[in-house]
Amino acid sequence: MLEQDLQFVEAAFKKYYFEHFNLLSIPIRASEREFGYQKFNGGMNRHISIKSNEELRLMLITNIPSDVYCSNAYYSFPNLPMSEKDWKEADLIFDIDAKDLNLDCRREHTCIKCFSCGDVSVLQSTCPTCKSTKIEKKSLTCKNCIDGAKNEIIKLYSILEEDLDIEKEKIQAYFSGNEGFHVHVTNSPYNQLGSRERNELVDYIMFRGAMPETFGMKKFQPARSSFVEIDAKGWGGRVSKHIFGSKSNRSKAITEIISNGYSVFQQRLDNLKETIGVKIDPNVTIDIHRIFRLPGSLNSKSGLSKVLCENIDKFNPFQESCFIDDEKTNVLANCPTQFTLKNRTFGPYKNEKVSIPKYAAIYLICKGLANTILIQG
């Protein structure tokens, strides 16, 4: 980030933490958690102990971080090196990101920035200006991406509540501030699970490694009576509903499955993973020492806040997570696709000087698609 952009964004972030500190608060059992932060154009600072909101406020105002983090794990000594922290347990956290959904709309709002010449263009495999393959993809998330991520959250909630018997009050969904959501599960019976057990849990939630025998199909001498009923709980019922469609169609569908054979049914289950499995980032849930973006803090990839979704169906991140003010700001914008914030649509811009609200300017600068214009005089 250029020096003038760095100063501009840091000032906006500092103002946000002054005016909207009420959106942040230390989580439960904060004294047992590890905190961390990253500065613009700087490295990560970890192994920090914070015990109160006053200490958190001091850290934010003193350092003006680009990103603020907190562990899902609880330690005896959170400020010591990892090998000396004495891990106790960790909340379950799931990451659902639009980039992992493989939606068709991604091509329409993803552009590339060339590392070699700095040119920005619509999505393609090489830079159209210098033909370099050293490019970085920049995505400006759309409503369809958010809706797709919301659908995954709804599927996840169903499994957590119905299959894992987790109380709804212990599950909270947060918009990450960029392209997806974090689902936090606190104070559950699964806090004690280690990485290996969490990996098995991830396999279950993502519907990975499903075996035909689980749903009634045997490799040798399959029996019609073995197939799971359509109203059964868990994955058995979900798979039956998807394959049979209805109870009246169950007998006909079973005849077809038996006729096609074991391997065909196995392939059908493998394909179902993309349809009914929840698309979470497995590495995030498995890692019991990870630090996560602190709710209420700003995301340096967008300038948007990580915020709690009280009603996931009605939640609009382009409105409800955008807290930077609307002061008119002059920038040199190079963004070949449109984006929407606070019910306003911006772009496309082709290397042009524009006057836009500060929140939109911050968004573009954080994406690497604009630079502030220095006022001469």
Contact 337, 142 (CB under 8 A): no
Q: Using one digit for the tens of pLDDT, what is the confidence trace for 225-277?
A: 888 988 899 999 999 999 988 888 989 999 999 999 999 999 999 999 888 99
Read off the pTM.
Answer: 0.93
Length of the chain: 377
Task: Determine the average pLDDT of the residues in 347-366.
Answer: 96
95 noted as active-site residue: yes
CA distances, 70 to each of 79, 243, 281, 344 (Å) = 12, 42, 18, 33
Report the pLDDT value the prediction gives residue 375, as an integer from 0 to 100: 57
pLDDT at 87 over 90: yes
- Give the model confidence (pLDDT) of 183-222 as tens digits: 999 999 999 999 999 999 999 999 999 999 999 888 888 8
CA distance 73 to 85: 10
- pLDDT reading at 377 higher than 70: no
Number of neighbours of residue 50 by Cβ within 10 angstroms: 22
Question: How confident is the model over 300-339, as pLDDT tens digits?
Answer: 999 999 999 999 999 999 999 999 999 999 999 999 999 9
Q: Is residue 281 annotated as a catalytic residue, yes or no? A: yes
The closest of 233, 205, 209 to 93, measured between CA atoms, is: 205
- Cβ contacts of 185 within 8 Å, gap of 6 or more: 91, 92, 93, 94, 160, 166, 170, 171
Residue 12 has pLDDT above 50, yes or no: yes
Distance CA(164)–CA(181), nearest Å, equals: 20
pLDDT confidence tier of residue 223, bands split at 50, 70 and 90: confident
Q: What is the mean pLDDT of residues 145-167?
A: 96
Burial code (b: 16+ CB inside 10 Å, e: under 16) for 21-32 equals eebbebbeebeb
Give the model's pLDDT for residue 312. 94
CA distances from 105 to 102, 144, 146, 148 (A): 9, 7, 11, 11
So what's the pLDDT on residue 376? 47
Structure tokens at 46: 């970890």
| CA gap 12, 10 in Å, rounded | 5
Per-residue pLDDT, 172: 96
Known catalytic residue at 287: no
Identify whether the C-beta of residue 323 lies closer than 8 Å to the C-beta of residue 233: no
pLDDT tens-digit map of 91-132: 999 999 999 998 999 999 999 999 998 899 999 999 999 999
Q: What are phi and psi of 297, to 5 degrees?
A: -85, 160
What is the average pLDDT across 50-65? 93
Catalytic: which of 100, 119, 203, 281?
Answer: 281
Q: Please give the residue that has the higher pLDDT: either 2 or 329.
A: 329
No. of H helices and E strands in the chain? 10, 18
Q: 354 and 331 in contact (C-beta within 8 Å)?
A: yes
Residues 295 and 49: their CA atoms lie apart, in Å, by 17
Q: What are phi and psi of 268, to 5 degrees?
A: -65, -40
Residue 361 is predicted with a pLDDT of: 98
> Token digits for 175?
């918009």
Q: How far apart, in whole angstroms, are the C-alpha atoms of residue 170 and residue 50? A: 23
Report the distance separating Cα 63 and Cα 49, nearest Å. Answer: 15
- On whether the CB atoms of residues 149 and 279 are closer than 8 A, the answer is no
pLDDT (mean) for 25-43:
92
Long-range contacts of 348-351 (CB under 8 A, 24+ apart): 351/120
Interval 132-152: pLDDT, tens: 999 999 999 999 999 999 999
Task: Evaluate if residue 374 carries a pLDDT over 80.
Answer: no
